[in-house]
Chain A
């Protein structure tokens, strides 16, 4: 049996090393924010965006907006209250709430007021201005715009698993409540159902 000529050894070794290195390194690819890529079947950015957009579109197409405008002669002021995650997954509810806020503000049909924590920070800033800001630039206390409606909601899930297959059902319920008399003026619901099959083999 003949030995492999020495001049082949180095290139072959290098090629193998290069292949091995390629297989081990992390690959990064930039994708469009709107592109849908489901990796695990869990609630993801696409779900958050789609649900918020669809629910806000439904919310703004209902008669309560025009009824309020006719009655008060101005667009309604809305605040987003708590959206509770009552499901099986740790969901970043804050991202979802921000998606709703963005869709509502960008619609131009409603006025949006700052949340409870944001208001605290703003009041602190006004208190600071009273001491330190020039008089003609000070923003006085007591001139905040009060919200007319509060949007609240829950995220619920039902998961059904059998072996490697799983059905993941998400239900988002949002309610718009009139802060003047606690009337519920709009109820919105969006459901997402996913069928996930986990791989049977791994490396």
Chain B
């Protein structure tokens, strides 16, 4: 039996369309199922959330994202050792994925962005080390937590902007950990770096340098005998003398430290804004439907926006030390030009394929157009279980057994939840504690193509539009 060349070409076109469809068999977007995951998490059903993740999140190209989500869920569940094993696996994958895959790049250029393996943003990498360090602290392995902070330092040295990479909180957290380990010189270096990162914060309207960091900087410079630097800091920050002990008070501070301890509580509140897909459709002169899909950030409210810590008749109010909506918006804005360029190149290639198919057979052209439009998907993957905001509160307490009372507050200052911790604090100790809080009111389902839903833009764009 012999086939005509026209038949062969048509067969090839149908095959090409088939290959496109097959290559996109795993094109179900992350947001198609991540909502279920977040819903289970908000309900406090960690096993249910892990089951959702196991069912939907194990695609080859999402292996890293799977490990990150798994690690965070295990951490929230209190399985710190397993959580760190997942974080280590994620780090190993990250190292592997630093190399470029020609196959994936070609897939992204011809089919869609989902053909590329998921690679975390810089700010997401920062938080891997923060969570991993907190896990080690919970396991009473402070030196392993120190390793994480050094790795975080390595990571932040590689990025273009520390502030955009979550370095403000990352450095502040490093300082707290060094202080908890008794390494005050290292802590001071980290606090100074944190100050620089806060000064360089992508959206100064959203977050200023925390008052607590100002006090920490001042206290440490004085404690280390850097009186001139402390004087300058006091002027810069406009701190009262209560916040900034004079030189003669340093000795009494040392005596005080021998009988007192401190608690620093980190609250991870809400969820980072999710990405959603937006399409731009156009019909060309030859009647071809050209579709370009791009991700954008959908706003998501954060229910708990404040906290207070009370113990031994003392009280301190927390403050926001990181806003992940800002970091996510900046990261997406940085990637957008390249994504747009790839999307346009892809649209041109797909248009060419449709035109060729149409030359062979009108039906084949129509089929090819349907397939090329249907395979166009935006990459909406992100480590969406990350918190929306990070708060910190620090309180000085007498050493010994203490009952800590933590009250979570909403935006209007109303009490949302409270929790008690009973801890034994050794004299001179700085104890780091962490709490994750997500509830139903943190969940807003991203409505695809819903123009009414607010969209988060990076700070630069927001500033220009206002």
Residues of A at under 8 Å CB distance from B? 1-3, 40, 84-90, 157, 159, 161, 164, 198-203
Residues of A within 8 A of B101 (CB): 201-203
What is the bound-complex CA distance between A159 and B1, given in angstroms? Answer: 67
Do residues A202 and B157 form an inter-chain contact, with CB atoms below 8 A?
no
What is the bound-complex CA distance between A36 and B17, given in angstroms? Answer: 50
SS class of chain B's interface: helix, strand, loop or mixed? helix
What is the bound-complex CA distance between A200 and B98, given in angstroms? Answer: 8
SS class of chain A's interface: helix, strand, loop or mixed? loop
Do residues A1 and B99 form an inter-chain contact, with CB atoms below 8 A?
no
Task: Count B interface residues, CB 8 Å.
Answer: 23
The answer, yes or no, to whether B36 is at the interface (CB within 8 Å) is no
Question: Given A86-B146, A88-B154, are A201 and B1 also a contact pair (CB < 8 Å)?
Answer: no
**What is the chain A residue whose CB lies nearest that of B158?**
A161
B75 to chain A, nearest CB (A): 17
Do residues A84 and B3 form an inter-chain contact, with CB atoms below 8 A?
no
Do residues A1 and B154 form an inter-chain contact, with CB atoms below 8 A?
no
Instruction: Give 6 CB contacts A-B under 8 Å.
Output: A1-B8, A85-B144, A88-B154, A199-B99, A200-B99, A201-B99
- Inter-chain contact total with CB atoms closer than 8 Å: 46
Question: Given A2-B2, A161-B158, are A88 and B150 also a contact pair (CB < 8 Å)?
Answer: yes
Partner of B100, one of A2, A40, A202: A202
Partner of A85, one of B1, B99, B100, B147: B147
For B9-27 the 0/1 string (1 means CB < 8 A from A) is: 0000000000000000000
What is the bound-complex CA distance between A43 and B157, given in angstroms? Answer: 21
Residues of B at under 8 Å CB distance from A? 1-3, 8, 88, 95-103, 143-144, 146-147, 150-151, 154, 157-158
Do residues B99 and A86 form an inter-chain contact, with CB atoms below 8 A?
no
Do residues B157 and A85 form an inter-chain contact, with CB atoms below 8 A?
no
A203 to chain B, nearest CB (A): 6
What is the bound-complex CA distance between A88 and B157, given in angstroms? Answer: 13
What is the bound-complex CA distance between A124 and B313, given in angstroms? Answer: 44
A165 to chain B, nearest CB (A): 12
Do residues A159 and B154 form an inter-chain contact, with CB atoms below 8 A?
yes
**What is the chain A residue whose CB lies nearest that of B101?**
A202
Do residues A90 and B147 form an inter-chain contact, with CB atoms below 8 A?
yes
Do residues A1 and B150 form an inter-chain contact, with CB atoms below 8 A?
no
What is the bound-complex CA distance between A85 and B151, given in angstroms? Answer: 13
Do residues B147 and A3 form an inter-chain contact, with CB atoms below 8 A?
no
Residues of A within 8 A of B103 (CB): 203
A23 to chain B, nearest CB (A): 14
Do residues A161 and B146 form an inter-chain contact, with CB atoms below 8 A?
no
Residues of A within 8 A of B158 (CB): 161
Do residues B157 and A161 form an inter-chain contact, with CB atoms below 8 A?
yes
